[in-house]
Amino acid sequence: MQHIVQLKGKRKITALTAYDYPTAKIVSEAGVDVILVGDSLGMVVLGYSSTHFVTLDDMIRHGQAVMRGNSKSLVVIDMPIATCDTPEKAIASCRKVCEETGAHVVKIEGKPESVRAVAQTGIAVMGHTGLKPQEVQSYKIQGKDDISRKKVFEEAVALEQAGAFAVILECIPSSLGLEITQKLRIPTIGIGAGSLTDGQILVLHDILGFSSDVRPRFVRKYAHIDKEISQATHHFIKDVISGNYPSEQESYS
């Protein structure tokens, strides 16, 4: 975790989500600094309409799979809705997640008092401010007017003071991303927060081109995996129906 903190001002921090063994293995071996087992898994791989349905058990199951695939990245487990509402609850929930996954780093949305309580137990906490999906019904850029800007700025400062080792800044104007990055001693990792934060995080399935329905402007697609999967499926169906699969070499004698 300290090696991530020390990257501030030296080079940009890279972070991606992963929710399972094979993708964690690939992105870790490829050299991403941080893997976040995000509660976005609720939408991305479980098919829910929001993160609000994700449970602690979901995070533990997916966290365990990612830990088995990870080789050299820092794995951060996201704490789902209602698990960190009070400092006492946050300590119990974060301890359970860490004990059962073997990860030692969690992410909490907002809630500086819960962050403080958990950080004091020795568990490393990543903060998260700006757009906080657990608190909203629809996704909109935050910090556009003076009141909202001040609120996001103050929460980022409060998260640092509470002991967070880094903070995610989600969906805020670039100028606010820069202002917070200059103010904090801990690294800021942006998603839709412009190019001037200390690092960038994106949802792996978005950059792979898995989820074609909703695509925020900050998502850059590096692949079109949906087309690859569809093509492979079509070929398989064709080969089975035509008798082209399996061949003799693909069969036991």
Catalytic residue among 109, 155, 160, 170: 170
78 contributes a contact to ligand KIV by CB under 6 A: yes
In angstroms, the CA 107 to CA 78 distance is: 5
Start-to-end CA distance of the chain, whole Å, equals 53
Q: Give me the 6-35 binding string for ligand KIV, x by CB under 6 A, dash otherwise.
A: -----------x------------------
Q: Which of 67, 159, 191, 208 binds ligand KIV (CB under 6 A)?
A: 191
Torsion, CA 128, CA 173, CA 184, CA 195, rounded to 10: 100
- 170 given a catalytic annotation: yes
The site for ligand KIV, by CB under 6 A, has a size of 11
Q: Give me the 198-237 binding string for ligand KIV, x by CB under 6 A, dash otherwise.
A: ---x-x----------------------------------
For residue 191, the SS3 value is strand
Strand partners, 107: 78, 126
Closest CA to 12 of 189, 218, 191: 189
Cis status, amide bond into 246, omega within 30 of 0: yes
When the beta carbons of 45 and 91 are compared against ligand KIV, the nearer one is: 45
Q: Give me the 122-161 binding string for ligand KIV, x by CB under 6 A, dash otherwise.
A: ----------------------------------------
Catalytic residue list: 170
